[in-house]
Amino acid sequence: MKILVVMKDVPDLVEELELTDDSRLAVDDLSYVPSEWDDQALEEALLMKEDHPDTTVTVVALDTGDVDNMLFTALAKGADRAVKLVGDFGRDLPNRARAALLAQYLREQAFDVVLTGVQAIDDLDGQIAGLLAGLLEWPHASVVRNVEWHPDGIHLIQEYAGGRMAELTVSTPAVLGIQAARKPPRYVTVAKVRQIQKSAAIEEVEVEVPSVPEVRLRRLYKPEAAGHAEMWGEDIDTVVDQLVGLLKERKLLRS
């Protein structure tokens, strides 16, 4: 079985986000980390590889910045190959174009299943898996976990709103949006990543930017404060008196 894991680096939310003079996100001034959901997808792929030793895991990322360390880290965790898609594009690439670029690469390959994170913090639309599956005309399921390979297809659990779940069998090739892996993503040391950087290589594949329908973000706004928190101190009697007074003032408590 051949598994492809799509990975993406996203802004590190530990840092404060800044806007440019034309009200756009200052993407070049941010630090980037692997998308946490893509990390879950990679872990699920590696668990499937452990269950079936003849499985190979390839990780792929678009060259939208410094993604090499992310790909080398995936190799250090146990992936077999790392591929970087290069071309005339940047970080502002919309998801329709991302999916089209990935589809270009996949049409020349022979993967049994493609795993990607269910969403990413910089878009939260959860559309990559569905868009990619549509372009390839492959089966698709998203918000899934417990992915296991069986002779009759891929067995998985798909989550729905309200806590409902369904057990599904999906034929291959297929695209899956991973919600969570069966185990927490594994950790590798910086030393191991550096060792992999000396012994392994990232394959580069040229892709052409397609012309696709898209919705472009024109402007961002910083949220405006609608109020503020009032600290009432640590004295319990004082806090109780103030709370009771506030509830009476708002007619939420009768005398």
Q: Residues 233-242: pLDDT tens digits?
A: 888 998 999 9
| Mean pLDDT confidence for 151-162 | 91
Lowest mean pLDDT among 67-81, 148-162, 211-225: 211-225
**Which pTM value belongs to this model?**
0.82
Residue 151 to residue 237: CA distance in whole angstroms: 67
69, pLDDT greater than 90:
yes
CA distances, 94 to each of 100, 131, 169, 210 (Å): 10, 12, 31, 11
Confirm if 118 and 126 have CB atoms less than 8 A apart: yes
Sign of CA pseudo-dihedral 16, 22, 25, 27? negative
Per-residue confidence at 203, pLDDT binned at 50, 70, 90?
very high
Residue 74: name the closest of 85, 56, 60 by CA: 60
- Decide if pLDDT at 28 tops 90: no
Band (pLDDT 50/70/90 cuts) for residue 222 is confident
Q: What is the pLDDT of residue 59?
A: 97
Q: Contact 119/142 with Cβ under 8 angstroms?
A: no
Work out the mean pLDDT of the chain and round it to a whole number: 89
Where would I find the H helices in the chain?
Answer: 36-51, 68-77, 95-106, 128-136, 190-199, 236-249
CB 125 within 8 A of CB 166: no
For range 163-191, the mean pLDDT = 93
**How many residues belong to the chain?**
255
- Give the burial class of 91: count Cβ atoms within 10 A of its Cβ; 0-12 exposed, 13-18 middle, 19 or more buried: middle
The whole-angstrom separation of Cα 212 and Cα 75 is 32
What pLDDT, on the 0 to 100 scale, is given for residue 84?
95
Do residues 45 and 170 lie in contact, with contact meaning Cβ atoms separated by under 8 Å? no
Please report the pLDDT score of residue 255 as a whole number. Answer: 64
Interval 107-146: pLDDT, tens:
989 999 999 999 988 877 788 999 999 999 999 999 999 9
